[in-house]
């Protein structure tokens, strides 16, 4: 048995069995959900997971508000998703290793106290939802802060800082974040073919890769 699969309820050294996933008390969970035994999920009653999802080792999801994970989503090792603003990861999106999503942030101005050991009345925590659109890929080590979002089909390079909404079908990188190119939409045809049970051999035209995708490193650092 592969370490990336769980056949029925046969124990796996790496991933929870379907019965163990069901016993977590998630708000909902689809089929073919792989959650590493070394991942940590908190606020599980606020976490919804779709079909064909993989959450790798040492990822932490702390759901102070609803966390909604769509179908065919991958969360690579050492990711952190936390806060009270809520998170949405739409279908076919992916987080590379060590991506951090914060939906809550302390006030750094010095006008209030900070950190979770202090009562709320002495703090001014800002919380806002973070939304990752379908077919979005986030590169290794990127950080998304409260209110950030990434539109459908966009790619965010490694170590990028995202603080505001980013539009669809673009490639972004850097701190401060900057637009470095456009992203092709060929993957939409591939998605339709894949979901219909087809094969790459069924395509009328071969898949081509735009030179623009070479403008940035670390887009798919999983």
pLDDT in tens, the chain (222 residues): 344 545 567 767 899 999 999 999 999 999 999 999 999 999 999 999 999 999 999 999 999 999 999 999 999 999 999 999 999 999 999 999 999 999 999 999 999 999 999 999 999 999 999 999 999 999 999 999 999 999 999 999 999 999 999 999 999 999 999 999 999 999 999 999 999 999 988 776 665 555 444 343 333 433
Q: How many CB atoms lie within 10 A of CB 191?
A: 15
Q: Give the predicted TM-score (pTM) of the model.
A: 0.88
> Chain-centre distance of CA 123, in angstroms?
28
Give the total residue count for the chain.
Answer: 222
What is d(CA 145, CA 125) in angstroms, rounded to the nearest whole number?
Answer: 13
Q: Tell me the torsion sign for CA atoms 101, 107, 112, 113.
A: positive
Q: Tell me the torsion sign for CA atoms 21, 22, 23, 28.
A: positive
The domains found in the chain, sorted by start residue, are 18-183 (2.160.10.10), 185-214 (no CATH)
What is d(CA 29, CA 27) in angstroms, rounded to the nearest whole number?
Answer: 7
Q: What is the DSSP string of 100-167?
A: EEESEE---SSSS--STTS-GGG---EE--EEE-TT-EE-TT-EE-TT-EE-TT-EE-TT-EE-SEE-
């Amino acid at each position: 048995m592969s370490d990336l699969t769980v056949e029925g309820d046969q124990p796996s050294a790496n991933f929870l069995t379907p019965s163990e996933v069901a016993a977590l008390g998630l708000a909902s969970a689809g089929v073919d959900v792989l959650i590493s035994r070394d991942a940590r999920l908190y606020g599980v009653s606020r976490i919804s997971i779709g079909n064909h999802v993989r959450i790798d080792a040492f990822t932490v999801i702390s759901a102070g508000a609803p966390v909604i994970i769509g179908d065919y989503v991958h969360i690579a090792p050492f990711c952190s998703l936390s806060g009270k603003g809520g998170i949405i990861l739409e279908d076919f999106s992916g987080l590379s290793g060590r991506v951090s999503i914060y939906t809550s942030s302390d006030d750094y101005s010095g006008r209030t106290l900070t950190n979770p050991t202090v009562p709320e009345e002495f703090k001014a925590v800002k919380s806002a939802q973070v939304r990752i659109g379908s077919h979005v890929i986030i590169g290794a080590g990127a950080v998304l802060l409260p209110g950030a979002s990434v539109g459908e089909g966009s790619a965010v390079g490694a170590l990028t800082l995202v603080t505001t909404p980013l539009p669809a079908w673009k490639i972004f990188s850097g701190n401060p974040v900057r637009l470095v190119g456009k992203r092709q939409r060929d993957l939409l045809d591939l998605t339709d073919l894949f979901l219909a049970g087809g094969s790459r051999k069924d395509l009328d035209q071969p898949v081509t890769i735009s030179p623009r995708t070479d403008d940035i490193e670390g887009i798919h650092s999983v």
